[in-house]
A and B are shown apart, each in its own frame.
Chain A
Amino acid sequence: MKTLFDKIWDKHVVKSIAEDVDVVFIDQHFIHEVTSPQAFNGLREKGVKVFRPERTLATADHNVPTINQHLPIKDQESFHQVESLTKNCKEFGVELFGIGHENQGIVHVIGPDLGKTQPGMTIVCGDSHTSTHGAFGAIAFGIGTSQVEQVLASQCLVLNKPQTMKIEVNGVLNVGVTAKDVVLYIISKLGTEGGTGFFVEYVGNVFADMSMEERMTVCNMSIEMGARGGMVGIDEKTINYVQSRVDLSEKKIEEWKALNTDKGAEYNKVVTFNAANIYPMVTVGTAPDTGIKIGEKVDESTFITEKAKKYMGFDGADNINQQEIDYVFIGSCTNGRIEDLRSAAEIIKGHKKADKVEAWVVPGSMKVRQEAIEEGLDKVFIDAGFEFREPGCSACLAMNDDKIPAGAICVSTSNRNFEGRQGEGAKTLLASPITAAASALTGRVTDPTKYLQN
């Protein structure tokens, strides 16, 4: 009796070199412009080629501007970094979806959408949110640049086998609770190191009932509890999603189904939550584990620190529901997919944003942007006073020009609220796309529930 994780891991071990240290074969490698240039330099210094170029796919996402992408990038360092990726991909024979390409977008949005991400795979990228791809029943995790070089050179990694953790959530979710709220709730209970050393499998009807995009949102934030990655079992939804993008044989589908965790298989750790206890969440501190129910006081967060309260300018007795805000950011590898944009547009339709709020919608990819335009979502956002931008990582980490000014408060659908994450001195409140949308309308942190009942 084995878990999904163990079955996939064992199938990919090329060689065991010590107790719990394996050489593991990597099926799919994604790269972007920030964490790959030093790896290519390393190959050049060693005179080594990319071992299996067809197993690596590149895109430019972190540095790209979200306005006027047809013009050269103004920031010289960003320009140079994106140029380096183009040059490296050409020299080493790696496929690249660069700025302006119809398949360009955030690496964790395009991988699944192009059918590159498939069940049973081992998937890595020099980016911690690679855990996103675990939604397909794959072992997917972030790596450092030295490891990017290893994968380029050998299609393998030397890895310590992590332990397994089952996170089970059953029951009926409350109105207004999205996948983002579910994962923020889990992190608010486990802490940012609750998953360190573990690979998580999300189990229970709550995850089974989710769409593939919702599962991606959950798996995406596994790293925020310290876990190496997170995964969801393979079902009809998984297969349908992949099948609508690539041709699959019956044999392949049967193989995938057999990978699911056997009944009675044991995990190293098990935690269980009740769906009924989860409400729309917002973080109040400078770590993703500081989520509280909208309507609770800051001090009700288990993991809030004095340092964080000082940085955020919050008094512990403040009710977050009254908190005035300056910016709203809807996008990122966590919540930049078409369903996220649809759900935000649904709230916004027929309303105007609060005057003082600046609101940006940044689609996760060119394809998501195109779909949104075809569905008329761009008009909904623009009519409400939002900016509808071009795709990229944008204000999630503020490597491009999309920075939140010092002192400003941003309700953001991204994944990290670290000090200065969205710009030096910026204050980030993590929330779902519908909470972000509702908050943009009122200018305060707002529970989206009342907008859903209208």
Chain B
Amino acid sequence: MKLSSKAIPLNIENIDTDQLIPAQFLKLTTKKGYGKNLFYNWRYIEDYEPNLKFELNNPLRKGAQVIIGGNNFGCGSSREHAAWAISDYGISVVITSQFADIHKGNLYNNNVLPIEVKSEELTILMTYFLENPEAIIDIDLENQTIKVEGFEFNSTFEIAPFKKKCLMEGVDEIQYLINMKEEIAEFELNNY
């Protein structure tokens, strides 16, 4: 996966899953249709009238596929609806200094790449993208690199080899487990 995109900087720490998708939108039984309610309480004034002070609504950032969020992104509930909302909105990468565990897993399972950078790096990226709404960030999963076009930012990120393989080869964890059924049945026989 290689991506060159604008980015949406959200300079807020502890963005919780209730902000990503409030509870009143968890009533669907599908995985689609959550994008328009991503950040509902911050993004709209009322009746879906955009709050222009919220960076997601900045017209210069239209088409951005990257969110740069404050530390402890996605804390709170396990609702995968938060990851579905991010993905449905058109986001492919979220960058922060630390994700909440469950949300990070949910992003992976929806082919959204969660990238953790050092907090100094996050500050640099946040500041730059707040000041330059049309700047472009380049993300390369294979080489695990992040660059910013026309700016001296050049960094690498860590990713667990298994997760990388899943994303690169489109391996689905569930299919992997279904294929293991015989081994699982044998484990049960020996242990229960």
Which positions in A face B, CB cutoff 8 Å?
11, 14-15, 17-18, 20-21, 23, 25, 34-35, 37-38, 41-42, 46, 48, 51, 62-63, 75, 77-78, 80-81, 84, 126-128, 130, 142-147, 149-150, 153-158, 160, 162, 192-193, 196-197, 226, 228, 287, 305, 307, 397-399, 416, 418-421, 424
Given A14-B187, A143-B105; 6 other pairs, CB 8 A cutoff: A77-B27, A154-B178, A155-B188, A158-B162, A162-B101, A228-B101
**Is the CB–CB distance between A25 and B76 below 8 Å?**
no
| Nearest CB in chain A: distance from B41 CB, A | 5
**Residue from B29, B31, B72, B188 whose CB has the most chain A CB atoms within 10 Å:** B29
Q: Which residues of B contact A149 (CB under 8 A)?
A: 174
Give the residue of B24, B161, B180, B183 whose beta carbon is less than 8 angstroms from that of A399: B24
B188 contacts which chain A residues (CB < 8 A)?
25, 155
Chain B residues with CB under 8 A of A228: 101-102
A146/B79 contact (C-beta < 8 A), A193-B72, A196-B101 known: no
Are the CB atoms of A81 and B29 closer together than 8 Å?
yes
| B122: min CB distance to chain A, Å | 14
Say whether A160 contacts B160, CB under 8 Å.
yes
Complex Cα gap A23–B79 (Å): 22
User: In the complex where A18-B160, A35-B80, A154-B181 touch, is A11 in contact with B98 (Cβ < 8 A)?
Assistant: no
- Asked whether A77 and B180 contact (CB < 8 A) given A145-B80, A158-B173, A416-B76, the answer is no
A156→B101 contact, CB < 8 A: no
Which residue of the partner chain, among B14, B76, B181, B187, contacts A51 with CB atoms under 8 Å?
B181
Does the CB pair A416–B18 fall under 8 Å?
A: yes
Whether A142 contacts B80 by the Cβ 8 Å rule is: no
Task: Give A420's nearest chain B residue, CB to CB.
Answer: B41
A420 and B22 form a contact (CB under 8 A): yes
- Indicate if B91 sits at the interface (CB-CB under 8 A): no
Residues of B near any A CB (own CB < 8 A): 12-14, 16, 18-19, 22-24, 26-31, 41, 71-72, 75-80, 83, 98-102, 105-106, 109-110, 160-162, 173-174, 176-178, 180-181, 183-184, 187-188, 191
The residue of chain A having its C-beta at the shortest distance from the C-beta of B41 within the complex is A420
B76 touches A305 (CB 8 A): no
Q: Which residues of A contact B173 (CB under 8 A)?
A: 146, 150, 158
Across the interface, do A17 and B105 meet the contact criterion of CB distance under 8 Å? no
B41 contacts A419, C-beta separation under 8 Å: yes
Report A-chain residues with C-beta under 8 Å of the C-beta of B83. 144
Pairwise interchain contact B178-A418, C-beta atoms closer than 8 A: no
A77 CA to B25 CA, complexed, in Å: 10
Q: Is the CB of A399 within 8 A of B41?
A: no
Which of A63, A160, A418 makes the CB contact (< 8 A) with B76? A418
Contact across chains for B29 and A14 when beta carbons are under 8 A apart:
no
Q: Is the CB of A38 within 8 A of B18?
A: no
Q: Are the C-beta atoms of A48 and B102 separated by less than 8 Å?
A: no
**A66 smallest CB distance to B (angstroms):** 15
User: Are A156 and B184 in contact, CB atoms less than 8 angstroms apart?
Assistant: yes
Question: Which residues on the B side are within 8 Å of A146 (C-beta)?
Answer: 80, 106, 109-110, 173-174
Q: Which residues of A contact B76 (CB under 8 A)?
A: 128, 416, 418
A14 to B106, CA, bound (A): 23
Instruction: Find chain B residues with CB under 8 A from A398 CB.
Output: 23-24
**How far apart are the CA atoms of A79 and B41 in the complex, in Å?**
24
Inter-chain contact A154/B184, CB cutoff 8 Å:
yes
Residues of A within 8 A of B162 (CB): 17-18, 21, 158
Q: How far is the CB of A367 from chain B (nearest CB, A)?
A: 25
Q: Which chain B residues lie closer than 8 Å to A157 at the CB level?
A: 177
| Shortest Cβ gap from B73 to chain A (Å) | 10
CA separation between A156 and B180, bound complex, in Å? 10
